[in-house]
Amino acid sequence: MAASELDPTEKAILDFEGELYRHQGAKQSRIGQRFGISLTEYLLRLNRLLDDPRALAYAPQTVARLRRVRESQRR
């Protein structure tokens, strides 16, 4: 894998967020089932991805939407 590529888990997190936006549900249990990590660990990884230009290149709409949500929550 080239240094400029997201790893498969990073891509899966972004894909999951894109799917989740269309299909709201029990996010915490779905995260545990799909990734085998806690909600806290997932959110930490997701927030790091939102600042990663590779993530923006991979899923621009998802990253842009999540950045807007994050910014509105900071206000």
Burial environment of residue 13 by CB neighbours within 10 A (0 to 12, 13 to 18, 19 or more): buried
The pTM of this model reads 0.78
Helix and strand totals (H; E) in the chain:
5, 0
Backbone φ and ψ of 59, nearest 5°:
-140, 70
Structure tokens at 29: 């249990």
pLDDT for 29: 82
Q: Mind listing the pLDDT tens digit for each residue in 1-51? A: 555 799 999 999 999 988 876 666 678 888 889 999 998 999 999 999 999
Q: Mind listing the pLDDT tens digit for each residue in 44-63? A: 999 999 999 999 999 999 99
- Rounded CA-CA distance 44/23 in Å is 22
| In the chain, where the domains are located | 8-18+26-74
